[in-house]
């Protein structure tokens, strides 16, 4: 079957718009989130494909299909056309996975198709909850931040208090301090997504009712590891587009303040990851930070708040960079991320699709000291060994080799 570039672009655009409507986000935000799932920085690849290009990787096509069907509520007919338009080599297999009980093109199957694999089928596990382990998601994540809420564990203390600061006006500003790989970015993603994630996509018992009317909240995540965010005008445009606020011309600080003050109606949280990188950017100067302070304190009626992450106090970092802005004095609530509690660590280990021996659990707790990234590395090594039928303690050596130092 030959490729149909125009058809693929049309269907991809339809999928992006369906997600936009369901999640009340801008096109740019949806594209950025899809790009992030694909392992890219920003949504430029998705935008490029929407203009009449087909991803060269079947893995990218499959990831796009899964994300759009899951988030956009697309039907099987859309998926079949989407896969056909880009010559995806295994369309029936993927359709049967995502729509196990549906009928293709209005024709009844002569035999029942295979149900979507459960965690038992995938891992040979005693656990049967599909929301914990599905073929397209690993049970444990080693290295990158946790994006999907069902994979996030711990931080109960921080979650209670941070969401408590955002339940009513004025929304209050928060700083999260932590060592590298202590889970700062993962916590930001979780705060942003958990309150509007369908229960079916979470683990049993995960709390979602942190906020009253969570669908009214607007969220913007700024990753200052992305060098594009170092340019003032580009950052201002990104913020406005993410909030569905008209972008003025020229998009300078004065006009930015005008349009945000005029158009911001919903409670809004701007999450800024790795503020130290932003402070090193020449264009993000004292007037820039002062403008953000004005927005949070006097121009938006308490509807806007910021959350920053850093490896030490943002005010101290600002001093060191020669940018001692009063903006960094509005963060009256600071949380320092340390190891998990033992209860949280045991909960993460217990989520394994395969049961670990008690001796292995105790060894993992002792070696990891309950740091989340260390836990992920060790439980991943143990699970892999069990899946491949490996005996002995080789998995311990592999886990220790992968475990980041502190």
**pLDDT one-digit tens code per residue, 125-160:** 323 333 333 444 567 888 889 988 999 999 999 999
- Positions of E strands within 87-173: none
**Mean pLDDT of successive 10-residue segments in the chain (406 residues)?**
74 91 85 85 85 84 91 90 87 84 46 34 31 52 88 96 96 96 95 92 93 94 92 95 91 97 96 96 97 97 97 95 96 97 96 95 97 94 93 93 77
Residue 406 confidence (pLDDT): 60
Look up residue 245 and give its DSSP letter.
-
Q: Which residues contact 228 (CB under 8 A, 6 or more apart)?
A: 42, 234, 235, 238
The rounded distance, in Å, linking the Cα atoms of 124 and 130 is: 13
* pLDDT score at 299: 96
Burial profile 49-85: b = 16 or more Cβ within 10 angstroms, e = fewer: bbeeebbeeeebbbbbbbbbbebbebebebbbbbbbb
Cα of 85 vs its chain's centroid, Å: 28
DSSP single-letter state for residue 58: H
Map out the domains of the chain as residue ranges.
Answer: 5-116, 155-337, 340-402
Adjacent-strand bridge partners of 271: 221, 307
Predicted local confidence at residue 370, as pLDDT: 96
For the entire predicted model, the pTM comes to 0.69
- Residue 151, Cβ density class (10 Å: 0-12 exposed, 13-18 middle, ≥19 buried): buried
pLDDT of res. 298: 95
Cβ atoms within 10 Å, residue 29: 23
- Run of H or E including 223: strand 218-223
The per-residue pLDDT for range 330-370, each reduced to its tens digit, is 999 999 999 999 999 999 999 999 999 999 999 999 999 99
What is the DSSP-derived secondary structure letter of residue 154? -
* DSSP secondary structure, 344-378, as one string: HHHHHHHTSSSPPPHHHHHHHHHHHTT-HHHHHHH
Choices 3.30.470.20, 3.40.50.300, 3.10.20.30, 2.40.40.20: CATH for 155-337: 3.40.50.300
**Cβ neighbour number for residue 138 with a 10 Å cutoff:** 14
């Amino acid at each position: 079957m030959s490729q149909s570039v125009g058809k693929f672009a049309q269907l991809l655009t339809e999928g992006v718009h369906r997600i936009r409507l369901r999640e009340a986000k801008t096109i740019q935000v949806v594209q950025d989130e899809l790009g992030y799932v694909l392992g890219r920085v920003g949504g430029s690849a998705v935008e490029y494909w929407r203009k009449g290009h087909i991803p060269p990787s079947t893995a990218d096509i499959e990831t796009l299909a899964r994300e759009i069907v899951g988030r956009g509520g697309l039907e099987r007919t859309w998926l079949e056309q989407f896969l056909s338009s880009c010559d995806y080599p295994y369309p029936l297999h993927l359709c049967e996975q995502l729509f196990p009980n549906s009928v293709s093109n209005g024709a009844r199957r002569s035999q029942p198709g295979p149900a979507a694999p459960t965690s038992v089928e995938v891992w040979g596990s005693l656990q049967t909850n599909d929301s914990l382990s599905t073929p397209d998601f690993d049970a444990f994540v080693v290295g990158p931040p946790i994006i999907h809420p069902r994979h996030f564990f711990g931080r109960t203390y921080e979650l209670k208090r941070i969401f408590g600061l955002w339940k009513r006006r004025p929304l209050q500003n928060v700083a999260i301090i932590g060592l590298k790989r202590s889970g700062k970015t993962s916590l930001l993603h979780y705060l942003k997504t958990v309150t509007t994630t369908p229960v079916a996509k979470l683990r049993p018992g995960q709390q979602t009712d942190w906020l009253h009317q969570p669908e009214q909240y607007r969220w913007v995540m700024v990753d200052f590891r992305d060098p594009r965010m170092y340019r003032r005008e580009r950052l201002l445009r990104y913020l406005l587009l993410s909030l569905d606020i008209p972008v003025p011309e020229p998009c300078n600080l004065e006009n930015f303040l005008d349009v945000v003050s005029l158009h911001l109606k919903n409670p809004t949280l701007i999450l800024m990851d790795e503020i130290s990188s932003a402070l090193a950017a020449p264009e993000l100067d004292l007037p820039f930070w002062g403008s953000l302070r004005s927005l949070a304190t006097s121009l938006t009626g308490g509807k806007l708040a910021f959350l920053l992450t850093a490896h030490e106090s943002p005010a101290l970092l600002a001093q060191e960079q020669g940018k001692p802005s009063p903006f960094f004095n509005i963060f009256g609530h600071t949380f320092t991320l340390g190891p998990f509690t033992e209860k949280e660590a045991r909960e993460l280990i217990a989520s394994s699709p395969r049961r670990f021996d008690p001796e292995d659990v105790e060894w993992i707790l002792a070696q990891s000291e309950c740091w989340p990234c260390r836990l992920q590395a060790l439980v991943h090594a143990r699970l892999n060994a069990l899946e491949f039928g490996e005996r002995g303690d080789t998995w311990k050596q592999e886990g220790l080799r992968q475990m980041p130092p502190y």
